[in-house]
Amino acid sequence: MADRVVLTIGTRKGVFVADAAKPRRSFALRGPFGSGVPVYSTLIDTRGTPRLYASSCNPFFGMKVLRSKDMGKSFQETRSAPAFPKGDGRALANIWSLEAGGGKKELWCGVEPASLFRSRDGGDSWEMVPGISNHEHARKWQPGAGGLCMHTIIRDGHRVHLGISTGGHYLSEDGGETFRASNQGVGAGFAPDPYPEFGQCVHKIARHNDAPGRLYMQNHGGWADWTGPGGPRPDIGVLRSDDYGRTWRSIAKGLPSDFGFPILVHPHDADTVYVVPLDPATRSCPGGAPAVWRSENSGDSWSRLARGLPKKETYFTILRDAMDIDRLAAPALYFGTTTGQLWMGREGGEQWECLFDALPPIHNVKVAVV
Amino acid sequence: MGPAPTITLHVPGALRTYCAGAAELSISARTVRAALEDLERSQIALYRSICDETGALRRHLNVFVNSDNVRDLDGIDTTLTTGDVVTILPAVSGG
């Protein structure tokens, strides 16, 4: 019976694990694990005996994948990390996403430069997925400020959605054998053509299992004042698709900014979605007052959730994978900041409290009840 | 051409886990490149921590032949002679 709330916290100086009993009154922190090097992705794999995974992005010795079989009391390197085939010409620069695949041991991994890898043995060996990694567009994608990263992997039977910055949204309907760019309605502010076939700077994509055709996207917004070729592009930052990602439309109206990084769906309500609007210049919340914004009608209107968060003089960023939500009956949201704070928002974000105040800068937060 | 010279490769502590804890490896190689190719064949996990998939030395590592950085010699084509010590060290960093 699941009885612990477990958090993995990927930071600039390794991965931490925190856990608490279901009331979430007090979290115990362990770590850092992983040699103090940056961790951009973690996975709490709840298939069978739970496993924790973390990418370890060692600037000296290259990429490693860490695995814990004891719920984060210790981590060991898997036997190998993803690596491009000899002669490919590309070299792994970062690991941005780890997701559970089919069966009990399959893992999927999105990397920089944007490519997809799959492991069939729990991370001990990896093979590149050529359908996207060698896609005819792959050598034309450009890195964003964070690098050319594949950060989102969403599996839905034979459908696979990928988010690439900057590449856009790619969709497979044959289990990952082939992919096509699927960005109709997804805008780009940094190219003369406001709606290119591909090359958008998608920041994150989210979806609810009960509504697989509906997807939410946080795209790179903040282009309302653009005066160059193609004209202004207001509200291209927060989008929704109701047809499995084939077409997208803006749901940004009512938000203080359409720029941001994470986007989440409520675990029990596919119509409830969360974003963190940021000022596009400072990448901090408008007015120095952090807030999560929630829509309970699939993005038609939005409300601000900030009770318990600082009211002023706060300029952290919440990165694309630094927010998650647990699956308890009254779920709590969690976000980590670039200033090393980990916040929890009880009752779906209604009331916030700071769990840890002085961790290293946080890249990634995942939660599961195990 | 005679047999390749035998050199000593000094392994930094952080990488010894990839070569059964050895602090030093004895390798026969005429150049640094040949020494790395030997590692690729015999110690793939150690090699992958020193060179990326393209065969390039990792950016934040320095390789010394005795006391000279290969960057100031002939790079990984620097020639080796018997008794040379090749040392791999992470670059200095902070933050």
**Would you state the pLDDT for residue A101?**
96
- Binned at pLDDT 50, 70 and 90, residue B92 comes out as confident
Give the distance from residue B68's alpha carbon to the nearest chain A alpha carbon, in angstroms. 20
Category of A26 on φ-ψ map: left (φ > 0), alpha (ψ -120 to 50) or beta: beta
The residue segments making up the domain with residue B70 are: 6-90
User: Considering the domain boundaries, does residue B19 fall inside one?
Assistant: yes
**Would you state the pLDDT for residue A234?**
86
A97-134 pLDDT tens trace: 999 999 999 999 999 999 999 999 999 999 999 999 99
Cβ of A84 and B53 within 8 Å? Answer: yes
Nearest chain B residue (CA) to A88: B54
Global pTM value: 0.95
Q: Which residues of B touch A77 (CB under 8 A)?
A: 17
Give the distance from residue A13's alpha carbon to the nearest chain B alpha carbon, in angstroms. 10
Which residues does residue A217 pair with via DSSP β-bridges, in sequence order?
Answer: A205, A239
**More confident call, A20 vs A193:** A20
- Binned at pLDDT 50, 70 and 90, residue B93 comes out as low
Q: What is the predicted ipTM? A: 0.88
Q: What are phi and psi of A288, to 5 degrees?
A: 65, 20
**Would you state the pLDDT for residue A59?**
87
d(CA A46, CA A69): 11
Average pLDDT over residues A355-366: 98
User: Considering the domain boundaries, does residue B95 fall inside one?
Assistant: no
Nearest to B49 among A62, A91, A92 (CB): A62
d(CA A325, CA A333): 4
- Binned at pLDDT 50, 70 and 90, residue B79 comes out as very high
User: Considering the domain boundaries, does residue B29 fall inside one?
Assistant: yes
Around Cβ A258, how many Cβ atoms within 10 Å?
28
Average pLDDT over residues B1-15: 93
CA distances from A240 to A60, A185, A267, A291, A299 (A): 40, 9, 17, 21, 8
The structural domains of chain A, ordered by start, are 4-83+90-369 (2.130.10.10)
**Would you state the pLDDT for residue B13?**
92
**Would you state the pLDDT for residue A145?**
81
User: Considering the domain boundaries, does residue B72 fall inside one?
Assistant: yes
3-class secondary structure, A200: strand
3-class secondary structure, A47: coil
User: Considering the domain boundaries, does residue B1 fall inside one?
Assistant: no
CA B44 from centre of chain:
13
d(CA A240, CA A272): 12
Q: Which residues of B touch A78 (CB under 8 A)?
A: none
**More confident call, A231 vs A74:** A74
User: Considering the domain boundaries, does residue B38 fall inside one?
Assistant: yes
**Would you state the pLDDT for residue B95?**
54
**Would you state the pLDDT for residue A36?**
85
Position A1 pLDDT exceeds 70: no
**More confident call, B88 vs A227:** B88
Number of domains in chain B: 1
What is the DSSP code (8-state) at residue A281? Answer: T
Average pLDDT over residues A163-186: 97
**Would you state the pLDDT for residue A226?**
82
A19-36 pLDDT tens trace: 999 999 999 999 999 978
Q: CATH number for the domain including B14?
A: 3.10.20.30
Position A199 pLDDT exceeds 60: yes
**Would you state the pLDDT for residue A203?**
97
Position A53 pLDDT exceeds 80: yes
Position A318 pLDDT exceeds 90: yes
The answer to whether B58 and B76 have CB atoms below 8 angstroms apart is no
CA distances from A113 to A106, A138, B16 (A): 22, 9, 28
User: Considering the domain boundaries, does residue B64 fall inside one?
Assistant: yes
Average pLDDT over residues A342-363: 98
The answer to whether A94 and B52 have CB atoms below 8 angstroms apart is no
Q: Which residues of A touch B60 (CB under 8 A)?
A: 59-60
Q: B 30-89 residues with CB below 8 A of A? A: 45, 48-50, 52-54, 56, 58-61
**More confident call, A325 vs A231:** A325
